Amino acid sequence: MTRTTGRTLALLGYLQTHREWSGAELCRRLEVSPRTLRRDVDDLRELGYVIDSSRGIGGGYRLGAGSSVPPLLLDHEEAAAIAVGLRGAALSAVNGIEDAAARALVKLEQTLPSAVRHRVRDLERAIVPLAGAPSVDVDALLAVAAAIRDARRLRIDYTRHDGAEVRREIEPHRIVRTQDRWYVIAWDPERAAWRTLRLDRMRPREPLGTRFTAREIPKDELLERTTRSIATAPYPHHVEVVVRAEVDAVRAKFGPTVAEVRDLGDGTTLLRSGSVDLDEAAMYLGMSGFAFTVRSPAALRERLVVVAQRLREAAGPA
């Protein structure tokens, strides 16, 4: 490799790791003059890289988006991480992405050093996908992501939890992935309220709608809102209990897709969850290993007595 080629690749490496570089900073790092830097940038453009530049004081360079994807400079760990991610995508619950991920994985693995390739394949052999999770369509996922990126309203056909079909116009803000489902956090202009919608029940319609001003969602509020919508809102029975344990222990046991938890400050934790059946809720709480007191509903107390009696009868005489 010539010094010029090595310097050009070094320039590409910088452009791929930073949003924008000033010309002065790149000259300092590469130890070249502004004229040489401009020549190296032109060399990269001739190879197919789209490099945006701005003139004047404070001007600089950044790697732009092109019609094709030129080679990326990856170290061994980065390449292995991408390979593992592609394998997960090939086994994912996103319809339409499996074949593309598999093709990209084959191309990437051909370029990996032998030791790294063997490490990736060892990990691939150890991964076993679980069936049964609802799948989402890759086109729907990309349409929502594009609407979020461009801050454009999205018209959708949506299947509610009761099976009813509705048409909505939403302002999508975030995509949330839980253990086995994808959700869209969106503002509903008609209801003037936040909504948490399952992506697998969503069918976006084109074209995108008008632009909107994105609303700020603090990270803690986003987590709380999403947890409440997933763990409680869709269910006919809403359960609230006080658990005699620290909040971290309760959160570790139940997880954000099962329950919403809040520290009460005295070594106890408020737990809210939803269930299709109160007997199921009684069993789940009983198996948690925690002592707890029911706040609501009153019917849960009755079902706990019934379930406890069944367990005593099943155990037989002492």
CATH number, position 57: 1.10.10.10
Q: Is residue 48 part of a domain?
A: yes
Take residue 91 and report the two structure tokens written for it: 């086994």
Residue bearing tokens 């320039």? 11
Q: What is the DSSP letter of 199?
A: G
Return d(Cα 172, Cα 175) in angstroms, integer: 8
- Burial level of 20, CB count in 10 A (0-12/13-18/19+)? middle
Q: Is residue 69 part of a domain?
A: no
Is it true that the peptide bond before 71 is cis, omega within 30 degrees of 0?
A: no
CATH number, position 158: 2.30.30
Buried b / exposed e across 131-164, counting CB within 10 Å, b at 16+? eeeeebbbebbebbeebbeeebbbbbebeeeeee
pLDDT of residue 127: 63
Question: Could you tell me if 117 and 143 lie in one domain?
Answer: no
Question: Could you tell me if 99 and 166 lie in one domain?
Answer: no
pLDDT of residue 67: 41
Q: Is residue 224 part of a domain?
A: no
Instruction: Indicate the pairing of strand 21-22 with strand 51-53.
Output: unpaired
Over residues 175-182, the mean pLDDT reads: 74
Question: Could you tell me if 121 and 173 lie in one domain?
Answer: no
Q: 19-41 pLDDT, tens per residue?
A: 678 888 899 999 999 899 999 99
Query: Where does a domain end: 195, 217, 239?
Result: 217
Q: Which amino acid is at 299?
A: A
Q: Is residue 121 part of a domain?
A: yes
Domain that holds residue 34: 3-63
CATH number, position 296: 3.30.70
Residue 1 pLDDT exceeds 60? no
- Burial level of 27, CB count in 10 A (0-12/13-18/19+)? middle
Instruction: Give the DSSP H or E segment for 157.
Output: strand 154-159
161-165: long-range contacts at Cβ-Cβ below 8 A with a sequence spacing of 24 or more? 161/234
Q: Which amino acid is at 60?
A: G
Question: Could you tell me if 235 and 310 lie in one domain?
Answer: yes
Between 105 and 295, where is the model more confident? Answer: 295
Count of structural domains, the chain: 4
Percent of the chain, pLDDT > 90? 27
pLDDT of residue 175: 83
Question: Could you tell me if 143 and 121 lie in one domain?
Answer: no
Return d(Cα 8, Cα 49) in angstroms, integer: 12
Residue 281 pLDDT exceeds 80? yes
Over residues 86-113, the mean pLDDT reads: 65
Query: Where does a domain end: 157, 184, 217?
Result: 217
Residue 314 pLDDT exceeds 80? yes
